[in-house]
Chain A
Amino acid sequence: MDFRTAARLGSLLAKDYAEDVFDLLVNYRAISASEVAARLDLHIKTAQDFLEGLAELGILSKEEVLEKKRPYFRYVLEQERIAFDLDLMQVRRPPSAESLLLRIRERENAGARFSVARSDDFITAVTIWTGQGRERQERRIKLTVPQGKFLFHLPFPRAEALTVAEIMRKAGVEETLSPEVLDLVQLLDKYAVLEKV
Chain B
Amino acid sequence: MFQTGKLKPNRSIGGLIVPLAALLLFGMSAFLFGAPTGFFVMAGVFGIFALYSLLVIVRTGNLGWLVICAYQVFAAVMLFFAAQYLAGTRQVREEWKIAWVTGFIFFGVVIIYLGATKRIKWRGREILELAAAPVEETGNGYTPRPRPVGRVEFSKQEILAFARFCARHLIAVVYVSPRQATFVPVRMGSEDRFLLRVGGADLDSTWISFDFDGDVSVHIAQKDHLDFIEPLSFDKLCESLGRLFIEFAEMHRRGEGVRIIDRLDALRMSYFS
Contacts and interface: CB of A to CB of B under 8 A. Distances in A.
B141 A120 contact: no
B146 A119 contact: no
Nearest to B207: A120
Contacts, number: 62
Nearest to A109: B142
Contact of A153 (B148, B177, B233, B235): B148
Q: Taking chain B's interface residues, is the majority helix, strand, or loop, or is none over half, making it mixed?
A: loop
A2 interface: no
A157 B222 CA distance: 14
Nearest to B177: A118
Interface string B83-110: 0000000000000000000000000000
A118 to B, nearest CB: 7
B117 interface: no
B19 interface: no
A154 B141 CA distance: 13
Contact of B145 (A118, A156, A158): A156
Contacts of B147: 156
A43 B145 CA distance: 59
B177 A156 contact: no
A155 B235 contact: yes
Given A108-B140, A120-B211, A158-B139, A152 B180 contact: no
B179 interface: yes
B255 interface: no
26 contacts: A106-B143, A108-B140, A108-B141, A114-B144, A114-B145, A119-B180, A119-B211, A120-B146, A120-B180, A120-B182, A121-B217, A152-B217, A154-B145, A155-B235, A156-B143, A156-B145, A156-B147, A156-B234, A156-B235, A157-B140, A157-B234, A158-B139, A158-B141, A158-B234, A159-B233, A159-B235
Given A110-B143, A151-B145, 6 more contacts: A108-B141, A114-B144, A116-B145, A152-B145, A152-B148, A157-B140
Interface of A: 106, 108, 110, 113-114, 116, 118-121, 123, 151-159, 170
